[in-house]
């Protein structure tokens, strides 16, 4: 289950070239920040190879094929969703005070917060411009969907920031936050190629539903890795989410479970300031004992099943459907 699906590597070079060509439109300062953030260069601007897994572009390309169109139809969409994703990470790292991203210093720690804010801004504006370069109804559709997804992404981040000040976050709120922050852009990625190619609305709706469910599954797995994943896998320090007292899905489930462990966890989460690693390990144990780990894993599986169901009656080619399924299983497997 951990082998990288072919559909995640097939269009990789194509997208990479298009992203680099698009980034040429940025002014030198934001281009430097963006090139570093995307893993193309190191701190000194020398070539590097430290990119992410480019999940969203792969899904975007596949969504063109779901509509019976060549990969290339989705290319501006693949670049645009990845740029919006990069924008959100650039800004989130500043807001969350996260100093590490993909095993490297976060961009704002290298270039300063101002340059990182501006780099994110530039990517957001550029993503819309790239889509609107084409004068088709599909481009209009895709650009509008991307702007709406970006709105929800921002809304999810606002909710998440608000959670930090509260000790009464419900599981429903937490699911809404994840659906906005992670689900909306993945839903857009999964359908943007079909929109650009002006595919049938029924197909676009099915793909959007698939992506929304996949997004929740992805977030659940990400939250599990944020507690029990190794730094090698996550690219972040060990127990990072508990260190930052993040109200992630397994934690909020555990807090709301009404067990003795829930109460003890709430006490530890209320402690001020940084905590030593043994307290963090105790938190992790309590989340598990209160059922948060098991629930999150089972919920992720349910979301994957639900995602697959959305594709079942979309009228899509079986081969493409299998490729979507492979990507979904790959990015939500817990052993890589």
Residues at the interface with its own copies (CB under 8 A): 25-30, 87, 91, 94-95, 113-115, 117-118, 120-122, 124-126, 128-129, 132-133, 135, 137, 139-140, 143-144, 147-148, 150-151, 154-155, 157-159, 161-162
Give me the least distance between CB of 232 and its own copies, in Å please.
29
Q: How far is the CB of 242 from its own copies (least distance, A)?
A: 21
Q: Which is nearer to its own copies, 69 or 124 (CB)?
A: 124
Task: Report the C-alpha gap between 242 and 41 in whole angstroms.
Answer: 31
Residues making up the chain, counted from first to last: 336
Number of H helices, E strands in the chain: 18, 2
Measured from the CB atom, the residue of 115 and 328 that comes closer to its own copies is 115
- Give 144 or 202: the residue with its C-beta nearer to its own copies: 144
**Smallest separation, CB 175 to its own copies (Å):** 16
Closest distance of CB 28 from its own copies, Å: 8
Query: Angle at CA 223, nearest 5°, toward 219 and 225?
Result: 115
Helix (H) or strand (E) run with residue 105 in it: strand 104-105
CA pair distance 164, 272, nearest whole angstrom: 12
| Nearest to 211, CA basis, from 268, 291, 149, 278 | 149
Minimum distance of its own copies from residue 134's CB (angstroms): 10
Torsion of the alpha carbons at 117, 251, 56 and 22, rounded to the nearest 10: 10
Neighbour-count burial of 315, counting CB atoms closer than 10 A to its CB (0-12 exposed, 13-18 middle, 19+ buried): exposed
Shortest Å distance, C-beta 302 to its own copies: 27
Report in angstroms how near the CB of residue 72 gets to its own copies at its nearest: 21
Whichever of 18 and 320 has its CB closer to its own copies, that residue is 18
List for the chain the helix, strand, coil content (%; round to 5): 75, 0, 25
Residue with smaller CB distance to its own copies, 115 or 320: 115
Q: How far, in Å, are 71, 101, 141, 191 from residue 198 at the CA level?
A: 14, 36, 8, 11
> Is 86 within 8 Å of 213 (Cβ atoms)?
no
| Shortest Cβ 93–its own copies spacing (Å) | 11
Long-range Cβ contacts of 272-276 (<8 Å, 24+ apart): 274/243, 275/243
Shortest separation between residue 77's beta carbon and its own copies, angstroms: 15
Taking the least distance from each CB to its own copies, the nearer of 16 and 134 is: 134
> Which CB, 26 or 240, lies closer to its own copies?
26
Toward its own copies, which CB reaches closer, 118 or 328? 118
Task: Pick the closer one to its own copies by CB: 69 or 177.
Answer: 177
Cβ distance 18 to 78 under 8 Å?
Answer: yes
CA 324, CA 142: separation in Å to the nearest integer? 20
Report CA-CA distances (Å) from 53 to 5, 94, 213, 228. 12, 22, 19, 20
């Amino acid at each position: 289950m951990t082998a990288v699906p072919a559909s995640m590597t097939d269009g990789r070079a194509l997208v990479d070239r298009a992203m680099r060509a698009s980034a040429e439109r940025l002014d030198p300062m934001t281009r430097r920040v963006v090139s570093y953030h995307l893993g193309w260069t190191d701190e000194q601007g020398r070539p590097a190879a430290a990119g992410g897994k480019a999940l969203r572009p792969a899904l975007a390309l596949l969504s063109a094929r779901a509509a019976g169109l060549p990969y290339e139809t989705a290319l501006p969409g693949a670049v645009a969703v990845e740029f919006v994703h990069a924008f959100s990470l650039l800004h989130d790292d500043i807001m969350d005070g996260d100093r590490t991203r993909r095993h490297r210093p976060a961009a704002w720690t290298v270039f300063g917060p101002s340059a990182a804010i501006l780099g994110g801004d530039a990517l957001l504006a550029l993503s819309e411009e790239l889509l609107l370069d084409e004068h088709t109804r599909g481009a209009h559709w895709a650009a509008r969907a991307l702007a709406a997804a970006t709105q929800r992404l921002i809304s999810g981040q606002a909710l998440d920031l608000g959670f930090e000040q509260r000790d009464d976050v419900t599981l429903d709120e937490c699911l809404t936050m994840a659906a906005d922050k992670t689900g909306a852009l993945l839903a857009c990625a999964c359908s943007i190629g079909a929109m650009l190619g002006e595919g049938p609305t029924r197909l676009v709706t099915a793909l959007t539903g698939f992506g929304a469910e996949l997004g929740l599954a992805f977030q659940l797995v990400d939250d599990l890795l944020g507690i029990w994943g190794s730094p090698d896998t996550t690219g972040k320090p060990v127990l990072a989410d508990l260190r930052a007292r993040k109200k992630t899905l397994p934690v909020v489930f555990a807090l709301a479970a009404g067990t003795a462990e829930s109460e003890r966890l709430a006490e530890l989460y209320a402690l001020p300031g940084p905590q030593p690693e043994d307290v963090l390990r105790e938190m992790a144990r309590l989340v598990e004992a209160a059922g948060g780990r098991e629930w999150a894993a089972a919920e992720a599986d349910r979301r994957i099943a639900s995602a697959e169901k959305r594709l079942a009656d979309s009228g899509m080619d079986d081969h493409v459907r299998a490729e979507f399924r492979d990507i979904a299983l790959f990015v939500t497997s817990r052993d890589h």
